[in-house]
Amino acid sequence: PKSLQLPMLLFSFARLYPFYSYNFVTQKYKLLVLTVATEETDGFHRFMQTAHYFNYTVKVLGMGEPWKGGDVGRSIGGGQKVRLLKSTMEILADQEDLVILFVDSYDLIFAGGPEEILRKFLQANHKVVFAADGLIWPDKRLTDKYPSVRSGKRFLNSGGIIGYAPYINRIVSQWNLHDNDDDQLFYTKIYLDPSQRETLNMSLDHKCQIFQNLNGAVDEVLLKFGTDRVRVRNTMYDSLPVVVHGNGNTKIYLNYLGNYVPNAWNYEHGCGHCDDDFLDLSQLQEYPNVLVGVFIEQPTPFLPEFFQRLLALDYPKDKLKLFVHNNVSHIQRFWEENRNVFNSFKVVGPEENLSQGEARNMGMDLCRKDASCDYYFSIDSDVMLTNRQTVKLLIEQNRKIIGPLVARHSKLWSNFWGALSLDGYYARSEDYVDIVQRKRVGVWNIPFMAHVYLIKGSVLRNELKERNYFVLEKLDPDMALCRNAREMGVFMYLTNRHDFGRLISTASYNISHYNNDLWQIFENPVDWKEKYIHQNYTQIFTENYLEEPCPDVFWFPVFSEKACDEIVEEMEHYGSWSGGKHEDTRIAGGYETVPTDDIHMKQIGFDKEWLHFIREFISPVTLKVFSGYYTKAYAVMNFVVKYTPGRQAYLRPHHDSSTFTINIALNNKNADFLGGGCRFHRYNCSIESPRKGWSFMHPGRLTHLHEGLPTTNGTRYIAVSFIDP
């Protein structure tokens, strides 16, 4: 028949004039994409997005029908797809100029357009071409029946078929099996029958010109970035496949590729689909209702600050309900102060003896069962949300599940994984570091997230309507949730389009002190600084925010009110003041000529932290005011002094055994004590109104003989270090 000869003729012609003629050829044929999807899963949505981008004509078969084709992910099945294709092909059977591309859709994306696929199909010079696979499935015993191939993939995969309509029809019209019989076995048997193979002129796409199956081939493919488009390149056959199929166990890898291909993200334009489903909150009559689930599963530093940030979220409080699972600390006060701030406020304490998984199920279930709950926002106590817009921004992104990126300060430790290892644990994806460091910005489909995320209430009542998502085998609760979501085909997204905040470290949080956060200077330096360093400290360097009340006595803000209060509390809690005696077993030699009533930092186990504080926050000031002097920030005498009329009220004139000394006022004149201050004899200069949180810095020997002026009422506290003795 003519129609069979024509493409061959044109093909020979095309070899001579490759450029034009393919257009000419491809214009002669129409390409129709057929796919079977019974539900609009996230994967289907993505498939259609890539199909629309390339202007494919797609016809979806079976939408809304119950799926009876079995669990194709794990066992055989898929016959329903052949049945649906068969009935469609009956109508199209005599359209000789129609080329049918029959593909899966839940786990498949397009990387190229219809022109290209037609061109490659015509080049293949067969009536029907199937996708090829390096692995045989479902019947290994058929291996020997396959024609051998010199190079390329040997076995048939039914996730992608392209062919002329009459020929496709001749194949599928042979179907007389059940919906849950195996489609791939059906096609395989036809292909392996030598006479059918010849008369139906079938072939496999051995070298991935058209179809890339990822199963067993993850190592063969790479992303290839172009200016407008991103493709997948098969490095083994040096081909640019058009259809990329995450068959078998490769869904997560396909999700990774789908974050880029074809126009989801590239270096030139960044994110291509970030605002596709944007939900403009400002256009809504009312803000959606959000249930906030807060989980305090282990002792967590900076918990008061965590709650402050929760209260500071820019979201109407009457639209927020709070559920707190607290397995550790006392949040009684926060609850009492804020129980009426939110629409509702429920606390489950340690006395209920809930496991973490049970508590998380309980929180999620509260939203699931409440039809008015539009979103469930889950947040762990180690997430410091510095962005007050976080909840709004996540809602506007309009995904089923989405988390904001949070990472440890200047570390690569974050709340998501870009890939999974074979046993389901962490593996680093090629783009992980760039996403954490926000060098690639967008909304990313990822296999695992934890600590903080937003889930639509409707998803909890549909795809995730079963309960107990957090309890699965021996997995930790977040891994259980993510595995369940993956298995339900619900995509989890992570956005790094904004700076949302950070994760704090709960490791080595020693809770045997009175004010435990003081010890967090190493583990959580950013939060430590925010809590304990004076608000105007950095202005010392930017705006010369410091004073020189006496010659070479510098005066600058260093501690916050909190730092002062907590250090005093810590010392009073310890309570063993030295009494200001000359005999002192704490120091070398055991004798102090000018003793104070004090407690050494070492006595409360705070010396390492204190020296680090000096290195981090005092050394830079030293360098500024005594330019050219690089302190070693070495000090053995670090202590808090207590002056009070009943015990020791003043200190007689003396030199310090230091190169320079710092002296930080820990409380307020007039409010906490009367009198006090410091006098430098050589200059006949006194400072009588010390300021809480401000430090003096002065040379210790030779020039700066000084005395502590009497405290006349109340108690005065100062923190002192003799630096570089």
Q: Residue 557: is the preceding peptide bond cis (ω within 30°)?
A: no
Q: Which is nearer to ligand NAG, 36 or 364 (CB)?
A: 364
Q: Which is nearer to ligand NAG, 111 or 490 (CB)?
A: 111
Q: Which is nearer to ligand NAG, 113 or 525 (CB)?
A: 113
> For residues 658 and 681, what is the distance between their CA atoms, to the nearest angstrom?
18
**Maximum CA extent, the chain:** 117
Question: What is residue 168's three-state secondary structure?
Answer: helix
* Cβ neighbours of residue 423 closer than 8 Å, sequence gap 6 or more: none
Q: What one-character-per-residue DSSP string does 230-298 give?
A: EEEEETTTTB--SEEE--TT-HHHHHHHHTTTTTTEETTTEESSTTTT---GGGSSSPPPEEEEEEE-S
H or E element that contains 530:
helix 525-532
CB of 54 to ligand NAG, least distance (A): 5
Q: Which is nearer to ligand NAG, 75 or 535 (CB)?
A: 535
Q: Which is nearer to ligand NAG, 54 or 444 (CB)?
A: 54
Residues in a beta bridge with 448:
417
CB of 10 to ligand NAG, least distance (A): 11
Q: What one-character-per-residue DSSP string does 109-167 give?
A: EESS-HHHHHHHHHHHT-SEEEEEESS--S-GGGGGGSPP-SSS--EEEEEEEEEEHHH
> For residues 382 and 300, what is the distance between their CA atoms, to the nearest angstrom?
6
Let me know: does 436 contact 409? Beta carbons within 8 Å.
no
CB of 354 to ligand NAG, least distance (A): 6
CB of 77 to ligand NAG, least distance (A): 30
> For residues 635 and 124, what is the distance between their CA atoms, to the nearest angstrom?
80
Q: Which is nearer to ligand NAG, 96 or 724 (CB)?
A: 96
> For residues 293 and 296, what is the distance between their CA atoms, to the nearest angstrom?
10
Q: Which is nearer to ligand NAG, 96 or 592 (CB)?
A: 96
CB of 66 to ligand NAG, least distance (A): 34
> For residues 619 and 724, what is the distance between their CA atoms, to the nearest angstrom?
11
Residue closest to 245 by CA, chosen among 221, 225, 276: 221
> For residues 487 and 495, what is the distance between their CA atoms, to the nearest angstrom?
22
What's the start-to-end Cα distance of the chain, in Å?
Answer: 102
Q: Catalytic pick from 309, 440, 486, 716? A: 716
Q: Which is nearer to ligand NAG, 295 or 334 (CB)?
A: 295
CB of 535 to ligand NAG, least distance (A): 4
Q: Which is nearer to ligand NAG, 405 or 649 (CB)?
A: 649
Burial 685-706 (b: 16+ CB within 10 A, else e): ebbeebebbbbbbbbbeeebeb
Cα→Cα distances 192→81, 114, 173, 227, Å: 20, 29, 17, 43
* Cβ neighbours of residue 660 closer than 8 Å, sequence gap 6 or more: 622, 626, 631, 697, 698, 699, 700, 723, 724
Q: What is the contact surface with ligand NAG in residues (CB under 6 A)?
A: 4, 7-8, 53-55, 113, 125-127, 198, 201, 298, 327-328, 353-356, 510, 512-513, 535-536, 605, 674, 684, 713
- Look up residue 603 and give its two tokens: 């006595």
CB of 391 to ligand NAG, least distance (A): 27
CB of 48 to ligand NAG, least distance (A): 14
CB of 604 to ligand NAG, least distance (A): 7
* Cβ neighbours of residue 324 closer than 8 Å, sequence gap 6 or more: 293, 294, 295, 296, 331, 335, 345, 346, 347, 348
> For residues 430 and 418, what is the distance between their CA atoms, to the nearest angstrom?
8
Judge whether 716 counts as a catalytic residue: yes
CB of 288 to ligand NAG, least distance (A): 31
Cα→Cα distances 36→62, 63, 111, 548, Å: 6, 7, 19, 79
Single-letter amino acid code for the residue at 697: M
Q: Which is nearer to ligand NAG, 137 or 673 (CB)?
A: 673
Q: Which is nearer to ligand NAG, 55 or 285 (CB)?
A: 55
CB of 293 to ligand NAG, least distance (A): 16
> For residues 694 and 668, what is the distance between their CA atoms, to the nearest angstrom?
11
Residues in a beta bridge with 720:
639, 663
Residue closest to 587 by CA, chosen among 595, 697, 664, 718: 595
Among all residues, which ones are annotated catalytic? 716
